[in-house]
Structure 1
């Protein structure tokens, strides 16, 4: 199955959803086929198709974005006259305003954006919930049918081990509002220097280190940013998560989440199989010490 065929499986959902809100889906461009599926529509609209049965998650993403904007945090927003998901065949479709031209934030800009976010008080008119570090991982492993039975058995055992370690998470900075997916690509800067948060649907209350660990592993695990850039990140935020006793646990959970995401993606598209095999070999200890070469973002 090619990436385009994965997208074609949602084309009928997109067409029905667009017709329901009076948007022309002709010429829609497939942007993302892993996780949520994104299409670019005419007139500056992005249609996002969620996983089956995740209507509540889609609605929550819209509500979170509105709350952040009301708190003065620039964030991608749903189209104003389409605030509720359109449900087609059990899948929620939301419509978002396409951002103007932008670039990925620098590590220092990401850290500054997180500093501001972490300083927010949780909303009083909606429940954001606590961080759920293992959400969806059992389902990802079950869906990873291109991996061998031994591989999937190892993943289940490793997941159980990580859950046990999480129960003994060391005390760190006070829990606060966190982004939940604070990769560098999820903080962008527009041409007028507006720093904008993307993919805020995983926002919750949790340890700020859950956000900070992203940059640490981008540097120390994958080599995506340099030591100098990571030092700028730490200076901008005011601390280095790698000096905290719980860093290795959060690092291991994040890397495992990334490995299971690739394994699930490979089940839908063989183009991701090499990446899935590499990631699993790394987290299982078959490759050698970090920095690991070859980890690439899934599109």
Structure 2
């Protein structure tokens, strides 16, 4: 009889332990609807985003400008390595150097023969046309081909993503979803319905909140990111409450369970 009573007490203690663990798990549950992208989107054919993407050159940008023509000798002067060099860090920590024209605080660059050129506020395509026309108008080259790329086009992805990172964009075009994918996607604890995009234009910082639970992002002007945009994913309440609750309650719960185990052990002896 005494043995049955002891086994019954141990079963009761084990049952109470499971109840406590189950309650802790319930407290950390996340609303599954808020963890899914575009949960309101059914099968459909969506029109392309017709909002024009206008990435303009700004002070402190680094531009790569290459000129070619039918006369390589005449062209050579426009491709002299007299440009400013920009240093950047690769993934493995090595320093890389890329030649490029640094746009000064006044929005200008110093270009061979043509001298100072105002580039700020122009897209790379508009600048390409401007330099091409200058070379032809001044009869410096015949049928010149000008290729311009922005070397420091990058976006930063921070917060509740698997790999917070700075994404370099050689193509000068990247969507919000691509940037998040390159950062390893939003974690289960990230708020997909309140993703923050910080964008600076003309000296003014703009903050936009994006709901990735909704398919409206496909028609948003923020679907495509611009150079130097910052994407920040906030942690949801489950993560914040869970980490706070765990740090406060875990030592108490463990102490209580240990104390309970000692009491039960002494009672059943």
Q: State TM-score, norm by structure 1.
A: 0.21
Which structure has the greater CA radius of gyration? 2
Structure with more of its chain in strand, by fraction: 2
Q: State TM-score, norm by structure 2.
A: 0.23
Structure with more of its chain in helix, by fraction: 1
